[in-house]
């Protein structure tokens, strides 16, 4: 997904506003990228300071330009795996994403405003300017959502309307597990002699 100069300049200004906080290394519109091959990911809901109510979804994964592998549509919304609601989900709740990732896989998310009606709006990380409603800090796993568009009255750019922690877990290759098992078997046989 290519960003225009205007988008990059805006993201830089917002990032300056976030500096000095726990979100100092966060990148607005920055992609969530699997840092290692053969991994899974867990998302934890860490809080919300929003007036609007929203649902957070895992759309799938692929490249920065496209979703190549779509997540299962758990609520028949066409938005993939439902994860959390920023007002009814319990802080500290965690969900494992229904996927296995290769190194450098880009994960895509959506945030849908569901209340108040008719305010409904949808932000997707795979859609141009929508990505600017998400912020990610790869060093801490912090992931935040801003529930208003930049052009809307009341936009504050604080990215605390829904907050999450993303953690990747490496999965040993099948060959590694087999070697580990053979090593344990060899030790057991040696001790029994």
* Residue 116 near residue 109, CB atoms below 8 Å: no
The span from the first CA to the last CA of the chain, in angstroms, equals: 62
pLDDT for the residue numbered 120: 77
Mean confidence (pLDDT) of the chain: 84
CA distance 134 to 123: 9
**pLDDT of residue 128 exceeding 60:** yes
Q: pLDDT, tens digit, for every residue of 19-69? A: 444 566 899 999 999 998 889 999 999 999 999 999 999 999 999 889 999
Query: Mean pLDDT lowest for which of 39-43, 69-73, 127-131, 133-137?
Result: 127-131
Q: pLDDT, tens digit, for every residue of 10-32? A: 444 444 444 444 566 899 999 99
* Residue 50 near residue 114, CB atoms below 8 Å: no
pLDDT for the residue numbered 185: 54
What is the band of 181 on the pLDDT scale with cuts at 50, 70, 90?
low
**pLDDT of residue 102 exceeding 50:** yes
**pLDDT of residue 108 exceeding 60:** yes
Q: Is 32 exposed, middle or buried (0-12, 13-18, 19+ CB in 10 A)?
A: buried
Write down the domain spans for the chain.
5-192
* Residue 105 near residue 99, CB atoms below 8 Å: no
**pLDDT of residue 158 exceeding 90:** yes
């Amino acid at each position: 997904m290519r960003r225009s100069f205007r988008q990059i300049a805006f993201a830089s200004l917002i990032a300056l506003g976030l500096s000095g906080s726990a979100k100092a290394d966060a990148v607005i519109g920055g992609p969530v990228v699997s840092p290692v091959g053969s991994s899974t990911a867990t998302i934890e809901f860490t809080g919300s300071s929003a007036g609007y109510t929203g649902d957070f979804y895992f759309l799938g994964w692929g490249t920065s330009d496209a979703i190549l592998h779509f997540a299962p549509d758990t609520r028949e919304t066409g938005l993939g795996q439902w994860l959390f609601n920023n007002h009814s989900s319990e802080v500290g709740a965690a969900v494992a994403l229904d996927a296995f990732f290769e190194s450098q896989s880009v994960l895509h998310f959506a945030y849908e405003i569901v209340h108040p009606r008719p305010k409904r709006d949808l932000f997707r990380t795979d859609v141009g300017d929508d990505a600017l409603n998400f912020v990610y800090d790869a060093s801490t796993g912090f992931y935040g959502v801003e529930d208003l568009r930049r052009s809307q009255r009341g936009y504050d750019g604080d990215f605390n309307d829904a907050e999450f922690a993303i953690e990747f877990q490496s999965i040993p290759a099948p060959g590694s597990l087999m070697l580990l098992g053979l090593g344990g078997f060899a030790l057991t046989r040696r001790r029994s002699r």
